[in-house]
Structure 1
Amino acid sequence: MSIRVKRTGSYRILNTNKKSISIKALRNYIKHIEQQNGLFDKNGDHVSRNDFMKRVIGQKNQGIAAYKIAISFRKHEVKEYKFHIKKIVREMMGQYEQKNKVQMDWIGAFCEGKRPCCNIVIRGRTHADKPVSIKKKNIEQMEYDARQAKNSLYQNKRILFVSTGIPFPYWPIEHSIAKALNMITHHSLTINQGDDILQVVQEFNPDLVIVLLGHNGYLAEKISLIRQLGVKTALWATDDPYFIDISKEVATYYDYVFTIDTGCIGFYRSIGCQKVFHLPLATDPEVFRPMNVASSYCSDICFVGSLYGARRIAFFNSISSYLLTKKVLLVGLYWDQIQNYSLFQDKIRLGWTPGEEAARYYNGAKIVINLHREHNENQNQFLVPALSINNRTFEVASCGSFQLTDIRPDLHEFYTPGLEIETFENPDDFINKIEYYLKNENERKKIEMNGLKRTLQENTYEKRLRQLLDICFS
């Protein structure tokens, strides 16, 4: 449940013989917002608590009931929706007024702490001129309306997504992105970088153009013209830092640059990009999901990916003798390069693996290996460090599979080692962890379920695209 609404108290300003109630006394009634900044109400973002209290005092003889409620968000959703919390609250309160035929006066304050929430003090009268009474059914309705407001934030935005047009390995990611955009907005369109983007922009009239990868100088020049039309533009650099030599040539043409690696943020800013944000890849839970698979996909240990790069080749060669003693599946390109290949042939499935097929191997494995590439591979002449995790991390977890991964500095931002994922530091540590978790199935299953739960809450493409839109339209 992503949004919770609860009643946290009520204060009835009763009829009284006193001529007035002091501001100081009334502060005791609404002290839970006394220390908060950024107060807001239905009409504006700069609200005086004193004015609100005076309005309450002014109607004390009518027996106004003042309630306080709290609308709370999961911690990860505060980051996602913090630019829109006021809009969500206003929509929620507006729906409440309309459905219950009441006139409301309220003041809100957002609190960003261990349990992020927005505290709201409400006063009001019904159309029958009676004090508002907020009951359980009203709270349930508020909760529903708040979720509806959250889900409809970008329904009317027009989003143009420009894919690479390259089948491998980008098409599955692009398909998931396009699908997520269709879930978020009623007006999204996907084209390839080879299409006439200027004509499409003139016909489609987008609010935002999102370009994946963007390694096309001709396209970058078109982006400059699109910006002159007043259309926002965003580059999602999904091959960082490995091809940052190419990305740096086009990044400055865009309003926003989103990189999948935090190690690249400073680099982009150093070349003149002013709005740079970390936006990792994610998972498509319709593709990568728990499922039963045929025995041909089952293994004790599995790795899906290509055997290339000096570090990856060296690692697998160092554990090759150990792997020969286990039920192992190595799936992907270039595995004919592994040491003792002739002994591994029955454990190797050569060829590129589509996402649906990879998901079957993940589901059939007791332990899935994840090993990141070195930062100095491919085209990274400035040796920009690779600090963030790859999309395989999210995809394996999304299958509810146990994952043993090497360590990236940003890993703890997404998963807690030992609770939602497990890590290794070197070949010896890898072997020790494999032996331990093969023998401790219950512990392995707990980590699998924890990783799956967090992934579905935080790391889907729908979540990523909402984060991107929040930034671009904040």
Structure 2
Amino acid sequence: MAKIVGVSRNKAVAAPKKRRRNRAAAGVDGFGLGWQHGYWHGQCESIVQRTIVPSYIRDLHVLFITSGKGFPYSPLDEAVGQTLMQLVSRLSVMSPKDDIVGFASREMPALAIVLDGLDFPVSTIDALRSLGIRTAIWFTDDPYYTEVTADLAPHYDFVFTLERNCVPFYEQRGCARVHYLPLGVHTADFRPRNPRHEIRGDICFIGSAYWNRIRLFEELLPRMAKRRFRLSGLWWDRLSDFQRWRDRIDLGKWMGPLETAEQYNAHKIVINVHRAHDDSTFNRNLYNIPAVSPNPRTFEIAACGTLLMSDNREDLAQFYTPGVEIVTYDSAQDMAEKMDYYLAHEDERRQIALNGLYRTLRDHTYVSRLSQLLDLATIPLA
């Protein structure tokens, strides 16, 4: 018999039994984890079913003009277009490069809705209005491009903006009908799902590494070192210690809605960091309008039934109750402490996530937002 150095024969024989016990324990743990995720998903699905509201279909022909920008704007184009199909009796979808005036002069839609509009010539809007067709624009990036949108807005009958501070800005430029309408969530993409086991973790952030985000994560990452976290997006190699965290960062990756939603579902806490309004590197906010309203990511995270941890924008409490439906932070240290707390108190974390899911599906879907837009854009004009 071969000699086993440094290990007794009894221990050598016992090792396979120990491995079998470890495998059995892992099987039990895996079963328990699977059961927990299944039970959690069932709770989320119960909320989804309770918040389904039949759509009211308006007898209306709407011409929807997409942003025409391609990815990453195309998922938003699709979300708005698919939602409008549920709300009006006839929907025509065109891009800015199509023969819109020719089509409109033949078909005479009651309302033309333009999304974003930065690549859409105002001469076409003027032509639609001359045909007697109502026009509405929904600005999706306010206040970051107000240097451009300031000249576009006065050409429309109705202006909708996702930034509350832009309402008086457009009114001062002669727009008679300006409404605050944040973006929402497309629940066909963002909803609770049971994610793959291999991508599950504690914390994630998905988004580009603007400089305000770099400053935050420079301070935060050392506090997260022992956590299972994931960052994904452009420019994260700006981190001074990028090489240390490289294996936890999907550098340069821009995910589509379904992959983004899968990551949200796979993590216990998802971070939201709003873009700075005064970052001159990327913005064209010549008028320096402060941003106080929530970004679309706010609603998309909460719609997945995960805990949303967001920086505290002024308008946020209008949409969610902090500490009840979401969690907010005011510094990297505050965020780190709250992460530790909610990862240690799972029942509290899950209850807040469920509350946030319910509020989102009740109030913040694109069905809700576009119903408001249609109601406002079809009222009799003075």
TM-score, reference length from structure 1: 0.67
Equivalent-residue separation in structure 1 for 2:168 and 2:226 (angstroms): 45
Q: Which residue of 1 aligns with 2:344?
A: 439
Residue 402 in structure 1 maps to residue 303 in structure 2: no
Equivalent-residue separation in structure 2 for 1:327 and 1:175 (angstroms): 33
Q: Which residue of 2 aligns with 1:386?
A: 291
1:442, CA displacement in angstroms?
0.2
Q: Superposition pairs for residues 28-39 of structure 1, below 5 Å?
A: none
What is the aligned counterpart of 1:411 among 308, 316, 338?
A: 316
Q: Per-residue displacement from partner, 1:87-127 (whole Å, max 9, x unpaired)?
A: xxxxxxxxxxxxxxxxxxxxxxxxxxxxxxxxxxxxxxxxx
Equivalent-residue separation in structure 1 for 2:181 and 2:268 (angstroms): 30
Equivalent-residue separation in structure 1 for 2:214 and 2:100 (angstroms): 41
Q: Secondary structure at the match of 1:186?
A: strand
Equivalent-residue separation in structure 1 for 2:204 and 2:232 (angstroms): 8
Q: Secondary structure at the match of 1:234?
A: strand
Indicate conservation of the 8 Å contact 1:320/1:339, yes or no. no
Equivalent-residue separation in structure 1 for 2:198 and 2:122 (angstroms): 46
Residue 201 in structure 1 maps to residue 104 in structure 2: yes
Equivalent-residue separation in structure 2 for 1:281 and 1:172 (angstroms): 13
Equivalent-residue separation in structure 2 for 1:348 and 1:367 (angstroms): 16
Q: Which residue of 2 aligns with 1:242?
A: 144
1:175 partner letter: E
Residue 229 in structure 1 maps to residue 131 in structure 2: yes
Q: Which residue of 1 aligns with 2:72?
A: 169
Q: Secondary structure at the match of 2:340?
A: helix
What is the aligned counterpart of 1:214 among 112, 117, 121?
A: 117
1:177, CA displacement in angstroms?
0.2
Q: Which residue of 2 aligns with 1:267?
A: 169
1:221, CA displacement in angstroms?
1.2
1:427, CA displacement in angstroms?
1.0
Which of 407-416 and 322-331 deviates more?
A: 322-331
Q: Which residue of 2 aligns with 1:16?
A: none
Indicate conservation of the 8 Å contact 1:161/1:209, yes or no. yes
Equivalent-residue separation in structure 2 for 1:163 and 1:264 (angstroms): 22
Q: Per-residue displacement from partner, 1:153-177 (whole Å, max 9, x unpaired)?
A: x1x2000110121122211111000
Larger RCO (CA under 8 A, 6+ residues apart): 2
1:376, CA displacement in angstroms?
1.4
Equivalent-residue separation in structure 1 for 2:144 and 2:273 (angstroms): 15
Residue 424 in structure 1 maps to residue 322 in structure 2: no
Equivalent-residue separation in structure 2 for 1:227 and 1:432 (angstroms): 55
Indicate conservation of the 8 Å contact 2:105/2:131, yes or no. no
Equivalent-residue separation in structure 2 for 1:338 and 1:206 (angstroms): 51
Q: Which residue of 2 aligns with 1:255?
A: 157
Equivalent-residue separation in structure 1 for 2:198 and 2:295 (angstroms): 26
Equivalent-residue separation in structure 2 for 1:204 and 1:280 (angstroms): 30
Q: Per-residue displacement from partner, 1:190-239 (whole Å, max 9, x unpaired)?
A: 111111110121233111000011113x6211111211111110010101
Residue 158 in structure 1 maps to residue 61 in structure 2: yes
Q: Per-residue displacement from partner, 1:47-89 (whole Å, max 9, x unpaired)?
A: xxxxxxxxxxxxxxxxxxxxxxxxxxxxxxxxxxxxxxxxxxx
Equivalent-residue separation in structure 1 for 2:139 and 2:324 (angstroms): 30
Q: Superposition pairs for residues 202-351 of structure 1, below 5 Å?
A: 202-216=105-119, 219-308=121-210, 310-350=211-251, 351=253
Equivalent-residue separation in structure 1 for 2:233 and 2:256 (angstroms): 10
Q: Per-residue displacement from partner, 1:4-53 (whole Å, max 9, x unpaired)?
A: xxxxxxxxxxxxxxxxxxxxxxxxxxxxxxxxxxxxxxxxxxxxxxxxxx
Equivalent-residue separation in structure 1 for 2:329 and 2:124 (angstroms): 45
1:185, CA displacement in angstroms?
1.2
Equivalent-residue separation in structure 2 for 1:199 and 1:466 (angstroms): 28
Q: Which residue of 1 aligns with 2:266?
A: 364
Larger Rg: 1
1:339, CA displacement in angstroms?
2.7
Q: Which residue of 1 aligns with 2:364?
A: 459
Q: Superposition pairs for residues 126-141 of structure 1, below 5 Å?
A: none
Equivalent-residue separation in structure 2 for 1:421 and 1:265 (angstroms): 26
Q: Superposition pairs for residues 108-127 of structure 1, below 5 Å?
A: none
Q: Which residue of 2 aligns with 1:6?
A: none
Which of 176-185 and 327-336 deviates more?
A: 327-336
Indicate conservation of the 8 Å contact 1:208/1:233, yes or no. yes
Indicate conservation of the 8 Å contact 2:232/2:249, yes or no. yes
Q: Which residue of 1 aligns with 2:276?
A: 374
1:324, CA displacement in angstroms?
2.2
What is the aligned counterpart of 1:178 among 77, 81, 88?
A: 81
1:325, CA displacement in angstroms?
2.4
Q: Superposition pairs for residues 5-44 of structure 1, below 5 Å?
A: none
Equivalent-residue separation in structure 1 for 2:103 and 2:303 (angstroms): 35
Indicate conservation of the 8 Å contact 1:303/1:330, yes or no. yes
Residue 353 in structure 1 maps to residue 255 in structure 2: yes
Q: Which runs of 4+ in 1 moved over 2 A?
A: none
Residue 188 in structure 1 maps to residue 96 in structure 2: no
1:438 partner letter: L
1:319 partner letter: L
Indicate conservation of the 8 Å contact 1:213/1:247, yes or no. no
1:443 partner letter: E
Q: Aligned residues: percent identity?
A: 39
Equivalent-residue separation in structure 2 for 1:273 and 1:188 (angstroms): 26
Indicate conservation of the 8 Å contact 1:238/1:260, yes or no. yes
TM-score, reference length from structure 2: 0.82
Q: Superposition pairs for residues 50-69 of structure 1, below 5 Å?
A: none
Q: Per-residue displacement from partner, 1:368-391 (whole Å, max 9, x unpaired)?
A: 000001111310011011010000
Q: Which residue of 2 aligns with 1:44?
A: none
Residue 473 in structure 1 maps to residue 378 in structure 2: yes
Q: Secondary structure at the match of 1:157?
A: strand
Q: Secondary structure at the match of 1:151?
A: coil
Indicate conservation of the 8 Å contact 2:224/2:336, yes or no. no
